[in-house]
Amino acid sequence: MNKKIIECVPNFSEGRNQETIEAIAGAIRKTEGCTLLDVDAGASTNRTVYTFVGDPESVVNGAFNAARVAKDLIDMRTQSGEHPRMGAMDVCPFVPVANVTTGDCVECSKQFAGRASKELGLAFYLYEEASTRDYRKKLPDIRKGEYEAMSEKVTRQGWEPDYWSGEFDPKWGVTATGSRFFLIAYNINVLAPHNQAHRIALNLREAGRGEGNPGRLKETKAMGWHVEEYGMAQITMNLNNYKVTPMHLAFEEAKKDAAELGVSLAGSELVGLIPLEAMLMAADYYARRDGLFIYQESQKIKLVIDRLGLNSVSQFIPEKRIIEYIISEERNEPLASMTLRAFTEEVAARTTAPGGGSVAAAIAGLGTGLGAMVTQLTYGVRKYENVSSEMKKAIPNLLATSQGLIPKVDEDTNAFNDYVAAVRLPKNTDKEKSIRAGAMQNGLKKAILSPLSVMNLGDGAWEQMEIAARHGNFASVSDIEVGARALELGIWGAWRNVVVNMTDIKDESWRQDILSQAEEIKDRAKEKCNHILEILDGRAKCETGK
């Protein structure tokens, strides 16, 4: 997944007025590109935490729209609650989830603060990674004195807000915005009194038992408590950076301490949401530790649920807990999503697309798919146990390549659309002609790079296809023959598309470089295919004794 995903978790100083709470939620829901995941309102704290995700531009818009609604509905002059606060929107962190960096999130926080300050007249402190001043990086330092002290605090030297109009708005107060890492709220169930759960928590949490006696796990907060609802104790934890202390490490370390105390763990509980990466990290750990060969993502998720006991107190439903699954969108792959009959009829229709490029991608994908099939039919079969290690090498790559070629069926057709659109551009003036010519060249290059990517994907599968031919289940020998032929044909078909579309390219250096790459891959495909067929022919002679 290459989609950029940022989580935004604004905390508003209102947890009792349902109309206000819903109005802010509605502003986020209506923001294009934003998905509201959770609204957690607390009456006693008089605070509501909203969690939503989207691409960088969308989450900035979502935060702004929420702040604009809150500005009209929340009045800090009459607000009170148990939770510390300093503004109507008390804090607004941006959190990296997928394909973004902390730096990207810092930029989002600055864009949001700058826009809200200018357009709404609000005041903002930057905190955590967004702040460059050590003494005002931590939220408690900024919030010290709370709302009641802010009107004076913003006038003190060194405490002027990073973004503001210069006028303190008593109705709003002050907001902190910045970037922090994704926080995983995680509870471990302990079949023991809560004081023993707390002993384990003190051993694990970074603060430990106080100065000079730190705990073992960095970026971790923890304490022990008794949960009446579950009838047992828990170690409740905040994992501030799962790349430093991942969930599975926290669980395994707690298990060690529990064993020393003579008590037992009874699974664990995820509170809220989790990034897919954190789950896959745990899966890879347990697969390595236990010597397991698991290559399908769904199986990896099931392994983590089992090893951590995530179903112990409530059912862990991946589609409702893993962020990437929650916001996944239906693939925009009209050709690849067709039935085989419909795709064949579409190709046969009196239209220029889909054409040879889409068919080449489909054929190459079927070829590597046959390789994946053969290797999977070999792995785990007693007769072929001696080649299990070879199958383990081949299966993930062949599956990934086959899956990676599927979207190329649509990509090839879509890639040519830019060129067609460029041809239709106006050409009445010299400037229009120049713009049109440049757009046509860019469109042609895109149409060339698409089949080239098919060639590169297919080219990376030959080693694994050879493993399937040399060691695969001999009962499927014809399948790997067809697979090798199909892969070679798919690469050849993609090469023809590269060559044909290259005719009108003006950039001679680019042209020669791409043609050279494509020619090399095409020749290698023919050589590798012939080699695989020779291997299979040799195996057939050995098997039949002829």
Q: Which residues are catalytic?
A: 83, 412
How far apart, in whole angstroms, are the C-alpha atoms of residue 123 and residue 163?
6
Q: Pairing mode, if any, of strands 264-271 and 175-179?
A: unpaired
Q: In what order do the strands lie in the sheet with 264-271?
A: 220-227, 232-239, 184-191, 264-271
Instruction: Tell me how many degrees the CA angle 514-517-520 measures, rounded to the nearest 5.
Output: 145
How far apart, in whole angstroms, are the C-alpha atoms of residue 273 and residue 279?
11
Token digits for 318? 């991946």
Instruction: List the alpha helices (DSSP H) in 8-55.
Output: 18-29
Q: Are 99 and 4 in contact (CB under 8 A)?
A: yes
| Sequence letter at residue 288 | R
Q: What secondary structure letter does DSSP report for 15? A: S
Q: How does DSSP assign 480-511, residue by residue?
A: HHHHHHHHHHHHHHHHHHHHHHTTT---HHHH
Q: In whole angstroms, how far apart are CA 244 and each of 190, 205, 206, 255, 280?
A: 24, 13, 12, 19, 15
φ, ψ at 99 (rounded to 5°): 60, 25
Q: Are 274 and 186 in contact (CB under 8 A)?
A: no
